[in-house]
């Protein structure tokens, strides 16, 4: 399963190779995917290499080789190098278990849905417990959820845009108090501030990493950070 950005980049590279005979520059790829920095392109290319879709010839400039394309219908639709509108795809259960990876999902017409609470904006500066109000709920396809308790939060701000998480998106979170390095979590800092960030443990310290180079990584003693859940899916309405 590729994320939407990975899929977009792969098809853009393939189209550029077919039209010009050589791979696009990092600046061209950055502009095509509307990213703010080339570091996001480096991460996407590395992910495509790891999944066997792309090969990078390290001793040649601008030398990328597309090894295979996603099977149409099983990967996220493209929104680069095509005029067709992007239609968000619903994740399967196995896809939601991929560590550190998620894709956008539509609030789809699914006969098997479950209602979960929709809390306030995650940058509101309140612990999840303080935001609990079951008057606002959202219907989520069962196929997106595994075992355990889930809730939804509305994302505020642009600190995670290079991970494909935009202002106004709805984050689907599995409630839990532990997570692995590299996973995107809901963290409660000092019992007051809630934030959505990537988790990194450094000895007795915890680093909360943004996915936007304009934001600094925040580092805290482990006892100041309480994990309140792990991101498993993302909803975006157009």
**Looking at residue 1, what is its pLDDT?**
64
Contacts of 238 (CB under 8 A, 6+ apart): 86
Whole-model pTM above 0.75?
no
pLDDT band at 23 (very low <50, low <70, confident <90, very high): confident
The CATH number given to 4-85 is 1.10.10.10
At 83-134, the pLDDT tens digits run: 333 333 333 333 333 333 343 443 334 458 888 888 777 753 444 554 555 5
pLDDT band at 70 (very low <50, low <70, confident <90, very high): confident
Using the CB atoms, write b or e for 56-69: b if 16+ within 10 Å: eeeeeeeebebeee
**Average per-residue pLDDT in the chain?**
75
**Looking at residue 79, what is its pLDDT?**
39
> The domain at 104-235 falls in which architecture?
Ribbon (2.10)
Which residues of the chain form CATH 1.10.10.10? 4-85
Which residues of the chain form CATH 2.10.109.10? 104-235
Distance CA 29, CA 41 (A): 7
More confident position, 178 or 74: 178
Pick from 24-28, 57-61, 126-130, 216-220 the range whose average pLDDT is largest. Answer: 216-220
**Looking at residue 34, what is its pLDDT?**
86
* Catalytic center residues: 159, 197
Sign of CA dihedral 218, 223, 226, 227: positive
**Looking at residue 65, what is its pLDDT?**
86
Q: Among the listed ranges 91-100, 144-153, 181-190, which one has the minimum average pLDDT value?
A: 91-100
**Looking at residue 94, what is its pLDDT?**
36
What percent of the chain shows pLDDT beyond 90? 16
- What does the pLDDT average to over 170-195? 89
């Amino acid at each position: 399963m590729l994320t939407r950005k990975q899929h977009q980049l792969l098809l853009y590279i393939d189209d550029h190779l077919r039209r010009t005979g050589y791979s696009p520059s990092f600046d061209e790829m950055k502009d095509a995917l509307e990213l703010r920095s080339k570091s996001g392109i480096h991460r996407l290319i590395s992910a495509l290499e790891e999944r066997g879709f792309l090969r990078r010839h390290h001793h040649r400039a601008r030398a990328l080789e597309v090894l295979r394309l996603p099977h149409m219908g099983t990967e996220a639709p493209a929104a680069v190098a095509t005029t067709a509108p992007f239609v968000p795809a619903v994740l399967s259960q196995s896809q939601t278990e991929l560590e550190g990876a998620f894709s956008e999902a539509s609030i789809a017409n699914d006969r098997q849905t479950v209602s979960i609470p929709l809390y306030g904006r995650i940058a509101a500066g309140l612990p999840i417990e303080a935001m609990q109000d079951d008057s606002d709920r959202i219907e989520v396809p069962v196929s997106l959820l595994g075992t355990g308790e889930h809730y939804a939060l509305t994302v505020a701000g642009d600190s995670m845009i290079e991970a494909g998480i935009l202002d106004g998106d709805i984050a689907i979170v599995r409630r839990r108090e532990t997570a692995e390095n590299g996973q995107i979590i809901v963290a409660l800092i000092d019992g007051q501030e809630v934030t959505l960030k990537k988790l990194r443990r450094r000895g007795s310290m915890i680093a909360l990493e943004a996915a936007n180079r304009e934001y600094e990584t925040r580092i805290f003693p482990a006892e100041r950070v309480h994990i309140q859940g792990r991101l498993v899916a993302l909803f975006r309405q157009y």
